[in-house]
Chains A and B, each alone.
Chain A
């Protein structure tokens, strides 16, 4: 691992159970795909940490290399890459996402 950004990504995805790399902020997503994943996370009422890759060109390139995944958003649960918008949407619809949260003891807020 030569890329220092990988160390930072690893720290960040270990620190919080649910981490989303996105375009824009949860309040103001800058892309429809990021907005969709935010909607899904809000629907399941889970706490998450979001990083805006538009604010950070090194992170924007680094995260794609790290996961070998060419697009943003990217969702990580317990340090593992789960998927982008299509996969998250599919998993939300078929119940897999709830299963993944339960399995990892990630509970809805409130």
Chain B
């Protein structure tokens, strides 16, 4: 199963509106992505909590439709 990068980005932005999302399709097959998400909302949160926010935004797609999303999160400098 695969997911479009634009769909992933939209879903993240829907629940984290100020997110700046950079997505790379690592293998070019729509199934293995790397995403970098930057948001002010991550401020004061642990890395686990930041990733949980992104996973929640993806509403159960992660680990299901989306097998591989290498995730990096940060607060804007």
Instruction: Return the CB mask of B58-76 against A: 1 if under 8 Å, else 0.
Output: 1010111000101110000
CA distance A71 to B55 in the complex (A): 10
Residues of A within 8 A of B52 (CB): 68-69
Cβ of A8 within 8 Å of any chain B Cβ, yes or no, is: no
Cβ of B47 within 8 Å of any chain A Cβ, yes or no, is: yes
Residues of B within 8 A of A71 (CB): 62-63
Size of B's binding interface in residues, CB under 8 A? 14
Cβ of B7 within 8 Å of any chain A Cβ, yes or no, is: no
CA distance A81 to B47 in the complex (A): 11
Binding site for B on A (CB under 8 A): 33, 64, 68-72, 81-87, 90
Can you name 22 A-B residue pairings with CB atoms under 8 Å? A64-B63, A68-B52, A69-B51, A69-B52, A69-B55, A70-B55, A70-B58, A70-B62, A70-B63, A70-B64, A71-B63, A72-B63, A82-B48, A83-B47, A83-B48, A84-B51, A86-B51, A86-B70, A86-B72, A87-B47, A87-B51, A90-B72
Q: When A and B form their complex, what is the total count of cross-chain residue pairs whose Cβ atoms lie within 8 Å?
A: 33
CA distance A101 to B51 in the complex (A): 22
Residues of A within 8 A of B48 (CB): 69, 81-83, 87
Instruction: Return the CB mask of B13-39 against A: 1 if under 8 Å, else 0.
Output: 000000000000000000000000000
CA distance A81 to B48 in the complex (A): 8
CA distance A33 to B26 in the complex (A): 15
Q: 5 closest Cβ contacts across the A-B interface?
A: A70-B63, A70-B62, A71-B63, A70-B55, A86-B71
CA distance A70 to B62 in the complex (A): 6
CA distance A46 to B62 in the complex (A): 30
